[in-house]
């Protein structure tokens, strides 16, 4: 059993060694194709973020504020749903059209917005992702300002404070071209390896004389040398004619 496993491992290494150049070329070509297609098809994405705080009533005692803090943490979850509702996004869409000339529908805005909150915290963030860095910043800040101005009319809360406005990012958040390229190289390697093993399994030619004795159990009677030079009938006659001279 151990001998069979050893032979299998040896066979695998032999196949890899035989097709090593092809496997490497496949990985390079596959990675290059994925990188090129990604650059041409996938647009750069920029993500910005603003931070907001659910305010507590300062006139209350410390115990009351701590008790209210737990309720405010639950309210943050509700805020996440309110921000992407028409009550907020309608105003955001109108303001963006007037100020910057952006014509964005409510569905387009909602797809760009992600609201996150940290556990045991009254702070939550509004993230906006867009292929234009400046537009992402303007959308994010407009959502934050509109939410702060309108939340008092929607819910009975003490208030919301904007801790930090979004700034224009200098680097894109995605796509990760390096990661996509590595994935392309990896799967190209796998495809090339699979092709090499399948081809070896389908190849029934005898590549070494030891196969006759070790695998088939037959006696090797010897080797026959085959000349690669084949003489045509015309060449044979010409040779014989030259010998007769």
Q: How many residues does the chain have?
A: 245
What mean pLDDT value characterizes the chain?
80
Q: Which residues contact 88 (CB under 8 A, 6 or more apart)?
A: 82, 143, 146, 147, 150
pLDDT-based confidence at residue 51 (cuts at 50, 70, 90): very high
Neighbours of 202 (CB within 10 A): 7
Q: CA–CA distance from 70 to each of 5, 57, 73 (Å)?
A: 62, 13, 5
CA distance linking residue 21 with residue 107, whole number of Å: 50
Neighbours of 5 (CB within 10 A): 9
CA distance linking residue 87 with residue 78, whole number of Å: 14
- Tokens in use for 47? 């993500």
Q: Is the pLDDT of residue 159 over 90?
A: no
Distance between start and end Cα atoms, the chain: 68
35-44, 151-160, 177-186, 207-216, range with the lowest pLDDT: 207-216
What pLDDT is recorded for position 58?
A: 47
Span 66-93, pLDDT tens digits: 444 555 556 777 888 889 899 999 999 9
Span 99-112, pLDDT tens digits: 999 999 999 999 99
Q: Is the pLDDT of residue 138 over 90?
A: yes
What pLDDT is recorded for position 13?
A: 85
What pLDDT is recorded for position 61?
A: 43
Residue 164, phi then psi, degrees to nearest 5: -160, 130
Fold (CATH) for 46-164:
Alpha-Beta Plaits (3.30.70)
Q: Quote the distance between the C-alpha of residue 28 and its chain's center.
A: 18
CA distance linking residue 235 with residue 241, whole number of Å: 10
pLDDT exceeding 90 applies to what percent of the chain? 41
- Give the residue, 51 or 78, on which the prediction is more confident: 51
pLDDT exceeding 70 applies to what percent of the chain? 71
Q: Is the pLDDT of residue 151 over 90?
A: no
Residue ranges covered by each domain of the chain: 2-40+176-220, 46-164
Question: If we measure between CA atoms, which residue out of 135, 134, 133 comes closest to residue 109?
Answer: 135
Q: CA–CA distance from 183 to each of 16, 32, 168, 176 (Å)?
A: 20, 11, 30, 11
E-only strand ranges, the chain = 46-54, 113-117, 123-130, 160-164
pLDDT-based confidence at residue 60 (cuts at 50, 70, 90): very low
Neighbours of 46 (CB within 10 A): 21
Give 160's strand partners.
Answer: 54
């Amino acid at each position: 059993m151990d001998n069979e496993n050893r032979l299998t491992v040896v066979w695998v290494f032999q196949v890899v060694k035989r097709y090593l150049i092809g496997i490497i070329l496949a990985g390079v070509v596959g990675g290059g194709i994925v990188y090129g297609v990604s650059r041409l098809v996938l647009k750069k994405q920029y993500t910005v973020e603003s931070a907001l705080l659910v305010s507590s009533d300062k006139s209350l005692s410390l115990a009351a504020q701590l008790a209210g803090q737990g309720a405010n943490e639950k309210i943050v979850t509700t805020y996440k749903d309110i921000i992407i509702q028409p009550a907020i996004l309608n105003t955001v869409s109108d303001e963006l059209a007037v100020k910057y000339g952006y014509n964005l529908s409510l569905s387009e805005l909602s797809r760009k917005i992600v609201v996150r909150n940290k556990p045991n915290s009254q702070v939550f963030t509004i993230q906006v992702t867009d292929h234009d860095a400046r537009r992402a910043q303007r959308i994010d800040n407009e959502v934050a300002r509109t939410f702060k101005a309108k939340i008092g009319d929607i819910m009975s809360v003490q208030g919301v404070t904007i801790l930090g406005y979004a700034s224009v990012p200098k680097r894109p958040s995605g796509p990760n071209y390096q990661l996509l390229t590595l994935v392309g190289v990896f799967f190209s390697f796998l495809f090339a390896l699979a092709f090499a093993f399948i081809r070896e399994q389908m190849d029934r030619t005898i590549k070494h004389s030891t196969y006759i004795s070790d695998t088939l159990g037959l006696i090797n009677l010897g080797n026959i040398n085959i000349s690669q030079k084949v003489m045509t009938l015309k060449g044979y006659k010409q040779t014989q004619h030259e010998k007769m001279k």
